[in-house]
Chain A
Amino acid sequence: MNAVVELTGVTRTFGAVTALDDVSLSVGEGQLVGLLGPNGAGKTTLLSLVSGLRRADSGTVRLFGGDPRDASSRIALGTTPQETGLPPTLTVGEVVDLVAKHYPAPMTRGEALARFGLEDLVARQTGGLSGGQKRRLAVALALVGRPRLVLLDEPTTGLDVEARHILWQALRDYHDDGATVLLTSHYLEEIEALAERVVVIGGGRVLADDTLASVLGLVALRRVVLSLPPGRTVDLARLPGATSAQQAPDGRWTVLANDADRLVRALVAQDVPFHDLELRGASLEEAFLTLTQNEEAVR
């Protein structure tokens, strides 16, 4: 067993809020895993357990086989500070040195900064950096110790498109050097650009854990919403192209379809007396909700 990260039956609550509910997750050497989920799903709590910041209420968390709360277990771990949290009076070079000196074989100051195009800012106090520069520095700090596991919490939130692509490329390059990367995002686009394996988290639980392609399939559902005349029952879920159907309290039916074109053709061909048809892509939130509801149904 050479899992880099291993969570077994982990639960963590904050007062009345259950942030993580019996979560088990194993991340192997060299994987690039995206944790996808809406805000408040428990992603950040999960990372804080892996990085030793917090303790699980129950269950075990292992980092390179050890307890992440021991400093020696974190010797090959790299994390990012929140961009707003850099010490404003220290210079870029000083912050990089401060972090680098914790690791046995770090990058040089120059190499870490060059990966993110920050060489010219080495003598600038971090308080004087732009948001994008701070964000790049934050990710540089995660990599400067040449960690074998990098944890990134929403690495590109709030960045413009170009800066985001520069950061993504730097992360891909670092992963290509053999590192394991675990990142969180609530942007599907970011997960699509980086992750090979996607773990969907919602309400503190793992809702899906699969390859990028499978999860994309799950969340690429369409919603077909329609009304039927009272008294008419049609088994909408069994129509070609449909995956599930549900009737809302107002009487409207919502059919989730993996192939909406086929479904609409079938509705017409079978002469289903529908009216007020609406068709739209399921949003990521809706896709999560579907996964959550499926989970509930299974339970």
Chain B
Amino acid sequence: MSTTTLSPRPFWALAVVHAKFQFLETVRIPIAVIGNLLFPSLALLFFVIPQRAVADDPLIATAAVAQLGVFAVMSTCLFSFGVGVSEDRAMPFDPFLRTLPAGAGPRLMGRVLNGVLWSYLALVPLVLLGALLTAATVTPTQALAAIVMVPAVAVPFLLLGLAIGYRLSSKAAIAVVQATLFPLAFAGGLFMPPEAFPAWLDAISKVLPSRAARDLAVQAVTGYPAYSYALLVLLTWTAVFAAMAVTAYRRDEGRRFH
């Protein structure tokens, strides 16, 4: 028998295949992502740009763009890829894909690659508005640091989204994502700078992944240092969400019963 000579395709080749086709599917129904592209830019336009005290101060304006950028990445990852997964699971094509010779890894990695790519796209309008209409500015080194930061921020929320998407039906997933996204964003200082928080909220905020991501992003683009254990908090949550996502994928047998 020739079975022994057959081995599965390499992990990365399969991850790229899944990323490519997931991208094609998303881009052909662009309305799904346009909302994510628009909301942070509108927030900047309505809440930051009219306040000239904020918009005309290079440091504060840059930090404001950075924290809305974190929100853009977070909502892209949680909505498109958390809720998206649960919607896909309800489609009969999903169980078919699970019978192909690829494990959970390449498909999840395809989602991660896609999430990071869409996160970059979600930042484009925000960064353009920030550059043109506020005093926000970055050095080339800071710009590079911001580019590196995006996946570090995207990945934990993507994994959280996947864990939700593989565990819940799409209706429940939408509700849970909303109930997760906005409190996390608010308590993480993405809408209101944490300097304005009372001490108790600041203490809670510092162990949240959104706050850690926000402070690291602000540090990357302004040089204003994040609190000492921000990176540890972000990495810990990434590990926790990764374990949750893999467990949820493994337990999933599809939503349909025969």
Contact = CB atoms under 8 A, between A and B. Distances in A.
Interface of A: 2, 14, 19, 29, 44-45, 48, 51-55, 64, 70-72, 74-77, 79-82, 84-87, 89-90, 94, 98-99, 101-105, 141, 145, 148, 151
Given A53-B95, A75-B7, A80-B96, A98 B17 contact: yes
Given A14-B257, A54-B253, A74 B13 contact: no
A148 B24 contact: no
Nearest to B257: A14
A89 B21 contact: no
A151 B8 CA distance: 19
B101 A75 contact: yes
A31 to B, nearest CB: 15
Interface string B63-93: 0000000000000000000000000000111
Contact of A102 (B91, B92, B101, B258): B101
Interface centre among A19, A55, A80, A101 (most CB of B within 10 A): A101
The 3 closest A-B pairs by CB, nearest first: A85-B92, A81-B96, A44-B258
B1 A85 contact: no
Given A70-B103, A72-B101, A81-B96, A104 B91 contact: no
B24 A102 contact: no
Interface centre among A64, A71, A89, A98 (most CB of B within 10 A): A71
A71 B253 contact: no
A101 to B, nearest CB: 5
A80 B92 CA distance: 10
B99 interface: yes
B96 A87 contact: no
Contacts, number: 96
Interface of B: 1, 3, 6-9, 13-14, 17, 21, 24-25, 28-29, 91-96, 98-103, 253-254, 257-258
Given A45-B258, A71-B8, A102-B14, A85 B91 contact: yes
B25 A104 contact: no
A79 B3 contact: no
Given A45-B258, A87-B93, A89-B25, A102 B98 contact: no
A53 B257 contact: no
Contact of B98 (A52, A94, A104, A145): A52
A82 B254 contact: no
A148 B3 contact: yes
A75 B8 contact: yes
Given A54-B253, A75-B6, A101 B258 contact: no
29 contacts: A14-B257, A29-B1, A48-B258, A51-B99, A52-B99, A53-B98, A53-B99, A53-B253, A72-B7, A74-B101, A75-B3, A77-B99, A81-B93, A81-B95, A85-B96, A87-B91, A89-B28, A90-B25, A90-B28, A101-B9, A101-B13, A102-B14, A102-B17, A102-B100, A104-B7, A104-B8, A104-B9, A148-B3, A151-B99
Given A72-B8, A75-B6, A85-B92, 16 more contacts: A14-B257, A55-B253, A64-B3, A71-B8, A72-B101, A81-B95, A84-B92, A85-B94, A89-B25, A90-B24, A90-B25, A90-B28, A101-B9, A104-B7, A104-B8, A145-B101
A77 B29 CA distance: 32
B255 to A, nearest CB: 12
Contacts of B96: 79-82, 85, 141
A90 B95 contact: no
A94 B24 contact: yes
Contact of B24 (A52, A72, A89): A89
A251 B245 CA distance: 62
Nearest to A80: B96
Contacts of A86: 93
Contact of B92 (A14, A72, A76, A81): A81
Contacts of B92: 81-82, 84-85
Nearest to A72: B8
Contacts of A70: 103
B3 A76 contact: yes
A19 B258 CA distance: 8
A173 to B, nearest CB: 20
A264 B93 CA distance: 53
Interface centre among B9, B17, B21, B99 (most CB of A within 10 A): B99
Nearest to A42: B258
A84 B90 CA distance: 12
A29 B9 CA distance: 24
A71 B97 CA distance: 11
A99 B258 CA distance: 24
Contacts of B9: 101-104
Contacts of A85: 91-96
A51 B13 CA distance: 22
B124 to A, nearest CB: 23
Nearest to B13: A101
Contacts of A82: 92, 96
